[in-house]
């Protein structure tokens, strides 16, 4: 079955006469369990939930491994760190990956005695600091800089040295790129972003092909308690069905907007892995099916960037990305990323691209 069919069908139970096509959400704190609890598939809401099971069944088929859903993308990041890293271990991560992932590594995990080494995503620079590492963390395309690294090559080199490899696949989604097929041990994503794509929930997951690691991830979730809400899991599964429709449209729109931005003299530092002129394009075409919904670029300074954003009528100022609604923000307002003050992270939605182009053009004209 192709990915485009899987996203629509995966995890939907066999149809039965007179039964609804899709099962509803199961809200449950506890379940009726008499006697020996091992005879019951469900016992208590922190351990398991039928709505999670359905969502994870869908993700299993898409990821090609066992998926474990978490309360948020950060709960999923923390689970991978938590099941793999012990005091004295070395974590190699991108210097330009998602800010909160770096904060977690440099804060709680470094305080516990984990050595954190960082190198840029561009140029596969993490290769240079692998010696003696336990876990190699990759994020490609990186958020917000949209740098790309070669997952298959890095995973092969890391595995020769017995290093576990994790990919934060949030920007691409599993439809855009399949980390486990490219050799990663963990495929992690914030499902808050493009995977679910409606700006209405917080969720994450980790997938792995190693049953032992999958068990450890589930134990971590149960003991830490970073469990997804049943409603979120249900909404996420429902949203999966339109993933390819959304992503196809978003990526087509993103490429058109990136092309338009190349014609504007106000714009520098334009990045979109789908642009043939982008430095990341050669690796991206080898490992990605879709280039993602995010475009980034730089305006002269903070004042000009804010004027651009305030002049947009259709594009909404908001953090996060990957939604059906086009959003943008001046990323440096948060701090923590090595980017210029006028850096814009632009997340392209599913609107008619002509309306988007018109809005961006009239906002740039005000500069």
Ligand X SMILES: *Cc1c(COP(=O)(O)O)cnc(C)c1O
> What strands lie across the sheet with 327-330, from one edge to the other?
268-271, 294-298, 343-347, 327-330, 316-317
- 77 vs 270, which CB is nearer to ligand X? 77
- 192 vs 199, which CB is nearer to ligand X? 192
**Active-site residue, from 42, 46, 47, 289:** 46
Q: Provide the minimum distance between the beta carbon of 13 and ligand X in the complex, in angstroms, as a whole number.
A: 27
Q: Provide the minimum distance between the beta carbon of 321 and ligand X in the complex, in angstroms, as a whole number.
A: 7
- 232 vs 244, which CB is nearer to ligand X? 232
CB-hemisphere CA count at 13 Å for 339? 33
Residue with tokens 């809400």: 229
* Cα 125 from chain centre: 21
**Active-site residue, from 117, 193, 271, 304:** 193
Q: Which of 37, 28, 57 is nearest to 237 (CA)?
A: 57
* Cα 237 from chain centre: 16
- 304 vs 345, which CB is nearer to ligand X? 345
98 is catalytic: yes
289 is catalytic: no
Name the maximum alpha-carbon separation found in the chain: 73
- 170 vs 187, which CB is nearer to ligand X? 170
Beta strands (DSSP E) in 231-271 are: 268-271
| Residue 163 burial (10 A CB sphere; 0-12, 13-18, 19+) | buried
Residue with tokens 């923590």: 336
- 74 vs 283, which CB is nearer to ligand X? 74
* Cα 278 from chain centre: 21
**Active-site residue, from 96, 168, 185, 337:** 168
Give the residues lining the site for ligand X (CB under 6 A): 72-74, 77, 98, 101, 139, 143, 168, 170, 190, 192-193, 202, 204
Alpha carbon distance 253, 349 (integer Å): 8
Angle value at C-alpha 291, between 350 and 186, nearest 5 degrees: 115
CB-hemisphere CA count at 13 Å for 202? 9
Residue with tokens 């995010």: 294
193 is catalytic: yes
Alpha carbon distance 181, 43 (integer Å): 34
- 231 vs 303, which CB is nearer to ligand X? 231
**Active-site residue, from 6, 89, 96, 98:** 98
Q: Provide the minimum distance between the beta carbon of 206 and ligand X in the complex, in angstroms, as a whole number.
A: 11
Q: Provide the minimum distance between the beta carbon of 138 and ligand X in the complex, in angstroms, as a whole number.
A: 11
46 is catalytic: yes
* Residue showing the smallest CB distance to ligand X in the complex: 73
Q: Provide the minimum distance between the beta carbon of 106 and ligand X in the complex, in angstroms, as a whole number.
A: 15
Q: Are 345 and 331 in contact (CB under 8 A)?
A: yes
Residue with tokens 């990919």: 167
Q: Provide the minimum distance between the beta carbon of 252 and ligand X in the complex, in angstroms, as a whole number.
A: 22
Q: Provide the minimum distance between the beta carbon of 207 and ligand X in the complex, in angstroms, as a whole number.
A: 15
Phi, psi of 139 (to 5 degrees): -140, 110
| Residue 278 burial (10 A CB sphere; 0-12, 13-18, 19+) | middle
Catalytic residues: 46, 98, 168, 193
């Amino acid at each position: 079955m192709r990915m485009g069919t899987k996203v629509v069908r995966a995890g939907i139970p066999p149809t039965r006469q007179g039964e609804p096509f899709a099962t509803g959400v199961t809200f449950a704190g506890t379940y009726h369990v008499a006697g020996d609890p091992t005879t019951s598939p469900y016992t208590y809401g922190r351990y398991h939930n039928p709505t999670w099971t359905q969502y994870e069944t869908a993700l299993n088929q898409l990821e090609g491994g066992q998926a474990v859903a978490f309360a948020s993308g950060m709960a999923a990041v923390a689970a991978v760190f938590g099941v793999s890293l012990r005091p004295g271990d070395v974590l190699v991560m991108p210097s330009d990956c998602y800010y909160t992932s770096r904060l977690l590594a440099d804060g709680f995990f470094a305080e516990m005695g984990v050595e954190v080494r960082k190198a840029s995503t561009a140029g596969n620079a993490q290769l240079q600091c692998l010696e003696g590492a336990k876990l190699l963390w990759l994020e490609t395309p990186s958020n917000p800089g949209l740098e790309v690294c070669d997952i298959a090559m890095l995973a092969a080199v890391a595995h020769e040295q017995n290093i576990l490899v994790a990919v934060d696949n949030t920007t691409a989604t599993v439809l855009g790129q399949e980390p486990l097929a490219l050799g990663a041990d963990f495929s992690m994503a914030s499902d808050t972003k493009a995977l679910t794509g409606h700006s209405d929930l917080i969720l994450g997951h980790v997938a792995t092909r190693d049953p032992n690691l999958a068990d450890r991830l589930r134990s971590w979730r149960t003991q830490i308690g970073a469990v997804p809400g049943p409603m979120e899991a249900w909404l996420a599964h429902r949203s999966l069905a339109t993933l390819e429709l959304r992503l196809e449209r978003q990526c087509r729109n993103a490429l058109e907007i990136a092309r338009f931005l190349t014609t504007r003299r106000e714009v520098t530092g334009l990045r979109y892995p789908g642009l043939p002129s982008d430095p990341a394009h050669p690796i991206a075409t080898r490992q990605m099916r879709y280039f993602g919904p995010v475009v980034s670029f730089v305006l002269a300074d903070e004042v000009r960037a804010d004027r651009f954003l305030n002049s947009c009528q259709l594009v909404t100022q908001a953090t996060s990305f990957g939604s059906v609604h086009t959003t943008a923000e001046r990323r440096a307002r948060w701090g923590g990323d090595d980017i210029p003050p006028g850096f814009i992270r632009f997340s392209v939605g599913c609107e008619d691209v002509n309306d988007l182009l018109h809005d961006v053009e009239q906002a740039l004209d005000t500069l």
